[in-house]
Structure 1
Amino acid sequence: MTRSLEKFIIFLHIQKTGGITIQRILRRELGPSLSTRVLRAVSAERQSLSLEKAASAKRFEDGFFVGHCCFGIQRYLPQPFTYITMLREPVSRVISLYYYSIDNPTAYYHRHAVNKSLEEFALNTQLMELDNGQVRFIAGDEKSLFINRTPIGECNTDLLETAKENIDQHFSFVGLTEQFDQSMLLLYRMMGWSQSSYLRRNSAKEASRPTVSKRTRQLIAEKNNLDVELYKHVHNRFHQLLSRYGLDDEKLLKRFQIKNQMYRALWGIPYEKYDAFKALFKS
């Protein structure tokens, strides 16, 4: 379905899918967002502020909601609503999360990744985000607003079908990290926004990483078998939408990419310096 202007947008930000870039685009198009991170920083209830309170505290000018949360947060947000999100090939997502966590001491998952191999992190860490995490986030949980709490190793096809149904019924847009430029073209078109250039934010350089063995990749895929099936479902849906909106044109994509290369050449370094300046206050 396409998003009508009356619907409040909920951006379900799954870790390591390119969400920081999407947030910047949404702020540019829709104005301020309701961010639990900002609310925690300014609230006198810092330690006790719940996700429910954060969502319910929406200001009039908030254009959308964004957060690392699961399907269900709409219960505390304006109606009618629509979700958007990005998915990533499951094995690549887990690998990216590991190296990001290792390289960033302030990262939430750093303590889970430090002094562990990729295989130990992916297979032995008791994190639900690493056990069909994308299915968990999109399926939702009536008792949790962060992630589905099905015990590790017990996610089943019923949960997968719930995630598929939620996407088909409640998500205006689901992009793919591996096809980021096409995803942005589709997002702009579906939302009725003018096609704009963007800077890819928080995008790790992966070329210098060690090669991950075929065995390790297979083990990660087996642990995230439902995520693999969900990704296939969304991949097919994504390409159908590209065709429907006339965006499966290589020349159109190439023009968009050239435009973005010029934009990054002009603004990339200033933004990198700005991000480095902000990081000084987080250390």
Structure 2
Amino acid sequence: MVIKIRPFKEEPLLIHLHMPKTGGTTLKNIITKNYGKRKSVNVYVERRVLKHVLRNLSKKRIDCIQGHMPFGVHQFFDRQARYVTMLRDPVDRVLSEYYFIQSIPTHKLHAEVVKMSLEEYQNNPSTTNLQTHYILGEKFGKSLSEEDLKKAKNNLKNHFLVAGLTERFEESIVLMKEELGWDNINYTKVNVTKNRLTKKEISKDIIVQIEKNNLYDMELYQFAKELFEQKINSLK
């Protein structure tokens, strides 16, 4: 009798594009719990060595990659891939990031940011339109255009299985559970910024400045909300 050996069929690679200060660390823990530590790899490295790390990982049998990585990671893997991420109201994200860095002495930017006012920090080009830069995956740290925003929207619509919203975290996790067949979505919130001011406690002038400096993020976030509502409404 001839025994036919079925070829190994890999599941699509899950890529968690961990957007800074959006609840991504909590999401990372949920994903790790469902995929296991041996099959879920965390990639938090300097951008200059990211390609080298991804090339090495492409030779290994893993199910999931998580980290502060821009869109495009899938190009290093010869297999189907799907993305998930969390997006956040751009003003809230900037505020959370600023106060978080100031409150963590071990953070690599703490010594620099602790000397800055909120107004100075939000004017820093490296903090503006960060979510659009991540979803676009190109031109990190450089000026963006309307065409770049259009590309980022297309990436979000066509390549992200779920783009959750921090403000609707539980619904976002339920969506991911439904789409990916997760068993365990119990979680404890981690890396929550403490002793931070809310939007209502910040000068309106500074809020307006943050909105202007993050105009593309504002538009992308609104687009993400529309996609999110469509996903929610499609659930039975």
Settle same-fold status: TM greater than 0.5: yes
For 1:26, give the aligned amino acid.
I
Q: Equivalents in 2 of 1:107, 1:207: separation in Å?
A: 17
- Counterparts in 2 of 1:233-252, with a 5 A limit? 233-246=223-236
Contact kept, 8 Å, 1:185 with 1:195, in 2: the verdict is no
Number of matched residues?
223
Aligned residue in 1 for 2:77 = 77
Q: Equivalents in 2 of 1:119, 1:245: separation in Å?
A: 42
Q: What CA RMSD, in Å, does the superposition of the two structures yield over aligned residues?
A: 2.3
Q: Are residues 1:149 and 2:155 paired?
A: no
Aligned residue in 2 for 1:180 = 169
Task: Quote the offset at 1:70 in angstroms.
Answer: 0.7
Aligned partner of residue 50 in structure 1, secondary structure:
helix
Name which of structure 1's ranges 28-37 and 201-210 shifts more when overlaid on structure 2. Answer: 201-210
Aligned residue in 1 for 2:136 = 139
Contact kept, 8 Å, 2:43 with 2:68, in 1: the verdict is no
Aligned partner of residue 34 in structure 1, secondary structure:
strand
Aligned residue in 2 for 1:53 = 52
Aligned residue in 2 for 1:11 = 16
TM-score by length of 1: 0.73
Aligned partner of residue 57 in structure 1, secondary structure:
helix
Q: Percent identity at matched positions?
A: 31
Aligned partner of residue 134 in structure 2, secondary structure:
helix
Contact kept, 8 Å, 1:14 with 1:137, in 2: the verdict is yes
Unaligned runs of 5+ in 1: 41-46, 142-147, 247-283
Aligned residue in 2 for 1:262 = none
Q: Equivalents in 1 of 2:206, 2:47: separation in Å?
A: 39
Task: Quote the offset at 1:54 in angstroms.
Answer: 1.2
Q: Equivalents in 2 of 1:93, 1:238: separation in Å?
A: 18
For 2:209, give the aligned amino acid.
L
Aligned partner of residue 69 in structure 2, secondary structure:
coil
Aligned partner of residue 11 in structure 1, secondary structure:
strand
Q: Equivalents in 1 of 2:48, 2:116: separation in Å?
A: 32
Q: Equivalents in 2 of 1:121, 1:207: separation in Å?
A: 15
Aligned residue in 2 for 1:202 = 191
Contact kept, 8 Å, 1:91 with 1:220, in 2: the verdict is yes
